[in-house]
Amino acid sequence: MIGTGSIGAAAIGGAVLMSGSAVAEVGDHTFSAETIEGTSDDGSIDKIKVWADNVEFSYEGLNDPAVEATVELQAVDPDGNAEAIGGDDGRHTTASIGGQSQNNVSLDETLEGDVLDHSGISADHFEEDGNGESNTTEDVDLRLEVTVTTNADDNVVGDTDADLEVIMNNLHQDADVGSDTDASGEIVSSEHIGTSPNNESGNGDDADQEGVLSVYGRHDEDERVFTVELEEPWSDEKEDDANLGLGFDVNQGGTWDFQVNWSSEEGFFSENEERDDFDEVPEFDGTKDGETLVFYVDDDEFDGDTFDFVANSSYGGHTHANVSADGENAWSPGEDFTSSEFFITVDVSETEVDEYDG
């Protein structure tokens, strides 16, 4: 899928008149990708993975009793041509139907597919080759098509469409977004966690904090990957006391469980190593390339997809930018500075855009 990232939801449905007086309907399900957003180091994309959950369909007015129905996930190119995009994963047949009319038949399967499997849709339609720029396309539709077969071998077909908006972001060309593939750059598909607001500093500093800190997260098979875009001088390795810290309250218990950090003095390190009140040091790794930092945290450090999170960057020891519930503060003095009072709740699920692959 592409992801990174924000994956929206849109309910679609409606009755579709078919041959004769027969009607088939696909209703009350969720497309998990009406709007999907991806990010990669060069704006390229490898897959746009989409799926449909909670699919229900109905039919009425058949001349003969129904014996089976097939629901298929399709994409429609800008010229109006529809094609299946999921193979066996994007198609499901059920024989648990009967009669000439039946309402709200549940498919009980998730249909999955890759938009780029459509022969008329190519990756370059979505890609953005401008460094630091975004490309948005809205001229591709997702479609669910239901085919009901009767005991006379007649077929009636109904379908329903949803507009698909794809937003492809191009990070800095020298950024390492953590792809396990070659430098051609598969989609990162990371969820946008937050960007620092413009807050006046309580100590009178006039440094501009708006937009200097942006954090993205994704869930690969065995790790959570957090990509941070951190503007100078926050990311300057020559700047005294330039640093970045990410805090995690994985069980949402009110105190943070671990921090992963980078500083111009120490490089990558964990705050847990510096404190004698924490027994566990998290398994993680990190890379830095210019203004882009990537933290790879072992999946075993998390209890689930949802957790409380904060990001804080500073330089000179006093000028701060935060992604937090408070904006002006990240770390709370409560519980000997282990309180997660200012953390935000995020969900970094294993949705992929290739698996996010990027």
Residue 1: its pLDDT value, please? Answer: 23
Residue 165: its pLDDT value, please? Answer: 78
* Overall pTM > 0.85: no
Residue 347: its pLDDT value, please? Answer: 86
Residue 188: pLDDT above 50?
Answer: no
Binned at pLDDT 50, 70 and 90, residue 8 comes out as very low
E strand residue ranges, 171-256: 191-195, 213-219, 223-230, 243-249
- Give the residue-averaged pLDDT of 77-81: 91
Residue 219: its pLDDT value, please? Answer: 81
Residue 25: its pLDDT value, please? Answer: 55
| CB atoms closer than 10 angstroms to residue 55 | 23
The share of the chain scoring above pLDDT 90, in percent, equals 26
**More confident of the two residues 301 and 352:** 301
Residue 222: pLDDT above 70?
Answer: yes
Looking up tokens 């993205």 gives: 216
- Exposure of 266 by Cβ count < 10 A (0-12 exposed, 13-18 middle, 19+ buried)? exposed
Number of residues written out for the chain: 358
Give SS3 for 2: coil
Residue 321: pLDDT above 60?
Answer: yes
Residue 276: its pLDDT value, please? Answer: 77
Nearest to 55 by CA among 6, 99, 11: 11
Residue 171: pLDDT above 80?
Answer: no
Residue 78: pLDDT above 60?
Answer: yes
17-21 long-range Cβ contacts below 8 angstroms, 24+ apart: 18/156, 18/157, 18/158, 19/156, 20/61, 20/63, 21/61
Residue 11: its pLDDT value, please? Answer: 22
Integer Cα distance of 342 and 63 in angstroms: 63
